[in-house]
Structure 1
Amino acid sequence: MPLRLIFMGTPDFAVPTLLELVAHGHEVVAVYTRAPKPAGRGMKMQPSPVEQEARRLGIPVMTLGTLKTPEALAEFRTHNADAAVVVAYGMILPQAILDAPRYGCYNLHGSLLPRWRGAAPINRAIMAGDAESGVMVMKMDVGLDTGDVAMAERLAITDTMTAADLHDALAPLGADLMVRAMGGLERGGLQLTKQSEDGVTYAAKIEKAEARIDWTRPAREVLRHIHGLSPFPGAWCEMAGEAEPVRLKILRCELANGSGAPGDVLDDNLAIACGDRAIRIVELQRAGKGPMKSAEFLRGTALKPPARLD
């Protein structure tokens, strides 16, 4: 029989999993998501992507500020769920909540655990130069992404991938994986394996101070730093302006030949010298403007030798 599920998630990354669970006949009896936040020019309250989809599907939505009260636990138990599926929910689940569903709570995590436990696994994998990433389904415990693993899928990371690219590749891969995991749970055949204690790393939340580009680093490290922060918060540098420096977010780049002092503009097509070799800027965003390809940027801005980016 299909499972009776609670779904807990918030951002775009979680939406494919919700849709796939519903499409495969599971009964999603409630969706827990973060409360609406002000967004846009008018700062209107914007429901999360998961809330928008849940309401479209006619699923009851809960936007609690905490799960640690007796009232929250009592309400959670009233759903009489077989399991809870958690995808980037954004809140800590206390032990009482983890224990409430019949078969427990299962999390979809965007890394190959135990590597990159924590908040920003997609960004950190790219920034660290990892050759691969993936998704894993684990049965949750009270630790930070320390639960036993049920299933995994791997995906190669190329130097052309930005965080947005990897996010968009992992989201449907994870949705399919979670559907297969819930199918195994439904049939009583879901096998769990303890995580290794070797190779544990933590994907700390991205801090704004990390976003400034350091041109003294090797070109490939600069490229991975830029791509790991694209599109948000965006790795940035400054170019000289008429009155004051102008901030540029670099969104996409490629490795290039050439050398010079780190930060030097090497040609008319936005090749920039790094600690070794160079990168060529492919897409960027000037402060106050939208993202644009380098050719469009150069039509309105002269940036060629002997200019430099700081």
Structure 2
Amino acid sequence: MTKSHTPEFEHTGERVAQAYREIQAPLDAQEARSFDPKNEPAESPPKAMQAGARAYPAPPYPEQHQAKPGQEHRLNPAPMYEAPFYKGSGKLEGKVALITGADSGIGRAVAVLFAREGCDVAIAYLDEDRDAAETKAAVENEGRRAILLPGDVADAGYARAAVERTVEAFGRLDVLVNNAAFQEHVTAFEDLTPEHFDRTLRTNLYGYFHMAQAAVRHLPNGGSIINTGSVTGLLGNKDLLDYSMTKGGIHAFTRSLATHLIDKGIRVNAVAPGPVWTPLNPADKSAPHVAQFGAKTPMRRAAQPEEIAPAYVFLASPQTASFITGEILPIIGGYSGG
């Protein structure tokens, strides 16, 4: 694999990934002890809605669980990110994007579509080297350049280094996509430890702040910041108290930073996805819960990353979103909280 452009932060990413797993392990053990499957007759579930260019997997998925931060190459079925029916039209021609959490999931799908639209991509990620290398290869397969930037977005020093090395490699920075996240559910409020709470806030809020602050001095008039929010930031989630709080904070940060940067000509928006089939959730929920992931949405399935990524293209391109800033775009499969 190509040598990292942030070598001094590689071991930081490994240490933080281990801290993720230390938060996860006792909660996994507790849930395993309390999980009591019900021996009820199986019912034929309603069919999932299929309205895309191709059919997408629907629950039940194979039961599976991963240690954090999760690895896309181990996920079954493999997330669909290639978007083979999406045709690029130069919406980001000649531009450069830095995408956090770009090794997998939504971040990988966004990297591929950005490249298809003519954009070079800096791939920021924690320590999932194999997945990141696959994203890099996918970007290069679209005819664009890519670099790898392992490290922890919660570290302000890493954020500055990632931005500087993106500019060194490509000569500019036009789009920042803040997408990296930490998520671990708790079923009892008293089980949400200070360490767990702190890690969620540091990754999801501090990380977005550090990356945006480092990027702003390089973004030109017409530049764009896109933050990944969540349906949980709009509607809450009883088992994701800290995560939902950070996603609501991201939405508020998006609106506030958008007005702050208008005079610089930089647009700031957010995409708020519902359930999406990525390593984030199998590295959170138990295997039986993962098997039914997304089943409660009106569409009765989780989204695939390639269904979410076009929204990022839309918000990033000055051709399509020149009058759009401070907006939160929900892509939640029809879910209304009912």
Structures share fold, TM-score greater than 0.5:
no
Q: Name which structure has the greater RCO, CA cutoff 8 Å, separation 6+.
A: 2
More strand by share: 1
Q: Which has the larger radius of gyration?
A: 1
More helix by share: 2
TM-score by length of 1: 0.41
TM-score by length of 2: 0.38
